[in-house]
Amino acid sequence: MTSSPFLSFFIVLLAALIVTQLFQRMKIPWVVSLIIGGVIIGPYGLGIFEPDTTITFFSNIGLIFLMFMAGTETQLSHMKGLKKEIILVGFFIAILPFLSGVLLLRIFQYPWQTAILLGIVFMSSAVALLVPMLQEKNILGSDLGKILISATMIVDAISLILLSVFLQIVQQDISIIQLISYPLFIIILSFAAWIIPQLKWLIFDGNEPNNSPDLFEKELRFIILTLVGFVVLFEVAGIHTIIAGFFAGMVLSQISRNDLLKAKLHAISYGFFVPVFFVTIGSDIDLRIFISDIQTIVISLAIIISLIASKVLGAWIAGRAIHLTNKQSLFLGFASIPQLSTSLAVAILGFNQGILDQQLLSAIVALSVVTSIIAPLIINHWATDVVPQQLEFESIPENDDNHQQKLL
């Protein structure tokens, strides 16, 4: 094991660079390759790296930046004209997976708190993975893409809020006063979401061009300050900081007008902090458990099948309810199955809190790997058949009161 924090940090960055370049040629998702890199160098692999306090701190920053960047992808304007469809799809891709996860672990005789946590994990989807895939296939700007991204983002946000309340209840660190204070806290956040974009005068004086270096530095300082401020505020309220990162991203995405700044934030996040988080997750995974314990394999397969089945069924029910075709409904389901950022964040928190054991943590990592490989393959295969710009809704029979084809 390494003893120098600088050497540990160097090993993490080196592993992140090498494995991502190696696995990119094999079409393995970037996040999955980072986790594999962590497994290789970690205490259960080559044994040349073990997270210390410094690495853990950078890993936590990486988690916050990961959720921050996911929040910046949230465009509330996408919901205009599609609110009913988004709410319906979001409801079914959340409630069925949640119930499926809870029921599955109760069948395996896990305690209720562990089962509920898996249900929360099942609710989320990898928005950070979905956005570039749909963008590449020209689906992101279509009605289908807007419904999918908006629904998954709303469900992600709800799952994080549920996680925060759930962890406080499990830790017996919540009171009636705190529960009552949540609505007040939501009002305060709503006010912050409104007032922060109004503070542009702190950054802009109206005379600086968009590509001004000084403007870039001002914006960067303001965004980092606001992000850290949200983290502190959420910590004081007893809500986990990953929600702070997501909320800050949503708010600040409405402020920045500098494309260069957005690119730099992406580079800082995904080029520096986020890889440390995923490599650290990988270093905590002991793959030998899959070989030595047949029950881990059984639970992993059950979790993977249960998640995929519940997501696809939920999306299909919602899709048919809004008159999507069978293929479009199934596409929504398979596109929503990737479990990466939020799922792994929730899983590692549950593991650190003693709610999930090593067996379940390994199973959730396996879930993330499998679903992150399956989803891109299906999206690539079906992308040309789901109509990029305008959805092809099935025609309503002529004897229906509304015999015209229903459009969103």
* Separation of alpha carbons 347 and 334, rounded Å: 22
Q: Residue 101: which residues within 8 A CB-CB, separation 6 or more? A: 115, 118, 119, 120, 121, 122, 303, 306, 307, 310
The percentage of the chain sitting over the pLDDT mark of 90, rounded to a whole number, equals 10
The pLDDT of 212-230, averaged and rounded, is 76
pLDDT at residue 404 greater than cutoff 50: no
Q: Are 338 and 125 in contact (CB under 8 A)?
A: yes
Q: Each residue of 46-86: pLDDT tens digit?
A: 888 888 888 888 888 888 887 787 677 655 555 666 778 88
pLDDT at residue 177 greater than cutoff 50: yes
Report residue 396 as tokens. Answer: 């309503």
CB-CB neighbours of 177 under 10 Å: 7
The pLDDT of 28-36, averaged and rounded, is 76
Q: What pLDDT is recorded for position 396?
A: 45
Q: Residue 157 — φ and ψ, nearest 5°?
A: -65, -45
The percentage of the chain sitting over the pLDDT mark of 70, rounded to a whole number, equals 75
Q: What pLDDT is recorded for position 231?
A: 84
Nearest Cα neighbor of 303 from 276, 337, 264 is 337
Q: Residue 1: which residues within 8 A CB-CB, separation 6 or more? A: 43, 47, 48, 49, 50
Residue 17 or residue 131, greater confidence = 17
pLDDT band at 215 (very low <50, low <70, confident <90, very high): low
164-173, 210-219, 290-299 — which is least confidently predicted? 210-219
Residue 141 or residue 270, greater confidence = 270
pLDDT at residue 164 greater than cutoff 60: yes
Cα–chain center distance at 103? 23
Sketch out the chain's domains with CATH numbers.
Answer: 65-264+298-385 (1.20.1530.20)
Q: Are 393 and 406 in contact (CB under 8 A)?
A: yes
Q: What pLDDT is recorded for position 257?
A: 57
Question: For every residue of the chain, which 3-state class applies, written as one string?
Answer: CCCCHHHHHHHHHHHHHHHHHHHHCCCCCHHHHHHHHHHHHCCCCCCCCCCCHHHHHHHHHHHHHHHHHHHHCCCHHHHCCCHHHHHHHHHHHHHHHHHHHHHHHHHCCCCHHHHHHHHHHHHCCCHHHHHHHHHHCCCCCCHHHHHHHHHHHHHHHHHHHHHHHHHHHHCCCCCHHHHHHHHHHHHHHHHHHHHHHHHHHHCCCCCCCCCCHHHHHHHHHHHHHHHHHHHHHHHHCCCCHHHHHHHHHHHHCCCCCCHHHHHHHHHHHHHHHHHHHHHHHHHCCCCHHHHHCHHHHHHHHHHHHHHHHHHHHHHHHHHHHCCECHHHHHHHHHHCCCCCHHHHHHHHHHHHCCCCCHHHHHHHHHHHHHHHHHHHHHHHHHHHHCCCCCCCECCCCCCCCCCCCCCC
pLDDT at residue 254 greater than cutoff 70: no
Nearest Cα neighbor of 318 from 144, 89, 83 is 89
pLDDT at residue 15 greater than cutoff 60: yes
Q: What pLDDT is recorded for position 200?
A: 63
pLDDT band at 402 (very low <50, low <70, confident <90, very high): very low
The pLDDT of 188-195, averaged and rounded, is 73
Q: What pLDDT is recorded for position 395?
A: 46
Most confident listed range (101-110, 259-268, 347-356) = 101-110
pTM over 0.75: no
* Separation of alpha carbons 134 and 331, rounded Å: 12
The pLDDT of 87-108, averaged and rounded, is 92
* Separation of alpha carbons 318 and 145, rounded Å: 15
Residue 228: C-alpha distances to residues 68, 110, 272, 282 (Å): 11, 37, 17, 26
Q: What pLDDT is recorded for position 68?
A: 82
